[in-house]
Structure 1
Amino acid sequence: MNYYVRKLLFYVVALWTAVTLNFLIPRLMPGNPVDILMAKLQVRGGSVDPAARRAYELLLGTGGDESLLSQYFAYLGNMLTGDFGVSVSVFPAEVSEVIASSLPWTIVLVGLATLLSFLLGIALGAIVGWKRGTWLDTLVPATTVLAAVPYFWLALILAAVFATTLGWFPLSGGYDVTLTPGWNAEFIGSAVYHGILPALTIVVSSVGGWLLGMRNMTVSAASEDYVLTARAKGLRDSRIMIRYAARNAVLPSVAGFAISLGFVVSGSIITEQVFSYPGIGSKLLQAVQNNDYALMQGIFLVITVAVLAANLAVDLLYGLIDARTRARV
């Protein structure tokens, strides 16, 4: 019980620290979102008198004459009530609305792509590691090279080949703009069709890391005593690989997968930008470009909570699986 209490206290402190940094970092950046919004209003012929500016400062929480400490406590209070403010880059939409509209796209795209790359990499890695020294080992350098390729370059290559040259897939967007979003077969089919290339980019670039890690752990597990004992008992080679070697070799990869799920909500910013995909990564880039404090803070908070929750889940899971972990704390 002491182990779990310490872990929970640690993550509470980590969450408070992350929330505090989430408040401070955007305000240390040069520029002011109110200036950006005033400039937009001027372009559209809107009013820019001092009263209007003060109203937008209060609305966007940039402070005006308020101290940084007052802004901080106001930020904590609003965060606890789910009020993240108004977005400058998507004005006058609420930050919570912007996140709610874009987060599902990223979770589905990046989540499914991450799961697919994990399963594919683990399966291939176990086979390659078990049959080390054979021609299958030639797969490892190829996948490692793909893992080292920058996201944007791979995305551009796939877009140029499969979208522009062959015309098999759409070049950009998350769905056919002529359709009305909803839970119907036509819209879901269009969303899946538009998400194939972005998902393929993520899978191709990340499967190599899972394959290499699983391959090395399988090689190590294959030399353990329990595998030698299983061989001496005359068990089938495939059963030894799956039930003994791969089952133990996969544990570090499962921990890595759980942590990577926490980063799913941050999306793949470069991939989403290349394919103009309506995910959370595109909104984050848009917020940074417009010094949109409120939207940046809202997105960073969602990412922080997701990553901390994934790490906490892994720590608690390891505490249940391995008693030695609890004993060391």
Structure 2
Amino acid sequence: MNTLRFFARRTAFYLFTAWAAITINFFLPRMMKGDPIQAYLARNRGDVSPEATRSLEILFGLDSSKSLLQQYADYWGLIFSGNLGRSLSHGLAPVTEVIGTALPWTIGLVGVATILSFTIGTLVGSLIGWHRGSRADVLVPISTFFGTVPYFWMGLIAIAVFASNLGWFPASHAYGKGAAPNLSLAFVGDVLQHGILPALTIVVASLGGWILGMRNMMVTILDEDYVTVAQAKGLSSRRVLLRYAARNAVLPQIQSFALALGFIVGGTLVMELVFSYPGIGKLLLDATGAKDYPLMQGVFLIITLTVLVANILADVAYAVLDPRTRQTEA
């Protein structure tokens, strides 16, 4: 009964959050200054007839003859039908297609880098916490220092050292110039080679937070009575570390990891600009500059839903690993 009540409360919370986010997603671009239709005409065709202008307004859901409430209702209808509109800045291509071309690059690069950073940071933090007071503690300030360095500066240094001077990795883009995306081994290898340097900078920049968080939680957990009892029973250090200490210390990390996974879709904008990587972050920046309402709304919608799904999965994992969560919230 407590479990059902817990999941019912969380479901209601996330449904409300989704409604609020989508509502803000609709109204926020319309509060921005400027006319996206006129900006589009100025970039592409110049002066056109009022009838053509009105047709574009209707096409992009900006029909001035309808109230904002009517446009809002139409927007929900488009969402449920899977139609996110057409992009003003990409030749009237469907928004889903435009996002679909950038999304795999962001998920592939930032996703892999985030998972690696979380895994390495959690494992290293667990060992440092278990051997607290040892020489391994020096890794905490070192990794934290790299986390405080501005990302664009770290990226530029990485390019200067590993791309320009040593020539180990390409300096920019997701694959070589002139190459056409395909599933051949040569192209996959080219993509991996271009992705190593930006992925490495993401891992180095975010590793300190995972190490510090896990290390501090381990130090706290090791003072708990159940850990002391487990050690008094004569259990092996490995079993106490994995089954008693690390299992409980990792719980707060899980929610942070879920948020990090959710923001993978948002991409790392600075990384994409520094390395000229064709991801979602750069796509959103270009759409904002072009006042491309449909594309902006589409990207915001994907980011919002991804964050919500990641949080739902984190709640489920947290409730499974720690039954006290279900009992408290129920």
Q: Compute the TM-score of the two structures, normalised by the length of structure 1.
A: 0.95
Contact 1:41–1:48, Cα closer than 8 Å, also in 2:
no
- The one of 10, 29, 33 equivalent to 1:30 is 33
Alignment: residue pair count: 326
Cα distance in 1 between the residues matched to 2:71 and 2:53: 17
Contact 1:266–1:281, Cα closer than 8 Å, also in 2:
yes
- The one of 38, 41, 44 equivalent to 1:41 is 44
- The residue that corresponds to 1:8 in the other structure is 11
- The residue that corresponds to 1:314 in the other structure is 314
Using a 3 Å threshold, how does the CA distance of structure 1 residues 148 and 189 change in structure 2: closer, same or farther?
A: same
Of stretches 168-177 and 115-124 in structure 1, the one that deviates more from structure 2 is 168-177
Of stretches 180-189 and 117-126 in structure 1, the one that deviates more from structure 2 is 180-189
* 2:107 paired with 1:104: no
Give 1:278 deviation, angstroms. 0.9
Cα distance in 1 between the residues matched to 2:318 and 2:125: 23
Cα distance in 1 between the residues matched to 2:56 and 2:198: 37
The amino acid that maps onto 2:223 is S
Unaligned runs of 5+ in 2: none
Cα distance in 2 between the residues matched to 1:49 and 1:62: 17
**Equivalences for 1:127-166 in 2 at 5 Å?**
127-166=127-166
- The residue that corresponds to 1:257 in the other structure is 257
Contact 2:287–2:295, Cα closer than 8 Å, also in 1:
yes
- The residue that corresponds to 2:235 in the other structure is 235
Contact 2:54–2:63, Cα closer than 8 Å, also in 1:
no
Give 1:105 deviation, angstroms. 0.7
Q: Deviations over 1:280-328 (max 9, x none)?
A: 1110111111111100100100011111111122223333333322222
Cα distance in 2 between the residues matched to 1:55 and 1:191: 41
Give 1:91 deviation, angstroms. 1.9
* 2:26 paired with 1:18: no
Cα distance in 2 between the residues matched to 1:278 and 1:313: 28
Q: Deviations over 1:5-37 (max 9, x none)?
A: 121111111111110000011111112211221
Q: Secondary structure at the match of 1:107?
A: helix
The amino acid that maps onto 2:99 is I
The amino acid that maps onto 2:50 is P
- The residue that corresponds to 1:121 in the other structure is 121
Cα distance in 2 between the residues matched to 1:316 and 1:127: 27
Q: Deviations over 1:63-84 (max 9, x none)?
A: 3332211211111111111111
Q: Compute the TM-score of the two structures, normalised by the length of structure 2.
A: 0.94
Of stretches 300-309 and 55-64 in structure 1, the one that deviates more from structure 2 is 55-64
Give 1:268 deviation, angstroms. 0.5
RMSD of the TM alignment (CA)?
A: 1.5
Cα distance in 2 between the residues matched to 1:305 and 1:254: 19
**Equivalences for 1:194-233 in 2 at 5 Å?**
194-233=194-233
* 2:289 paired with 1:286: no
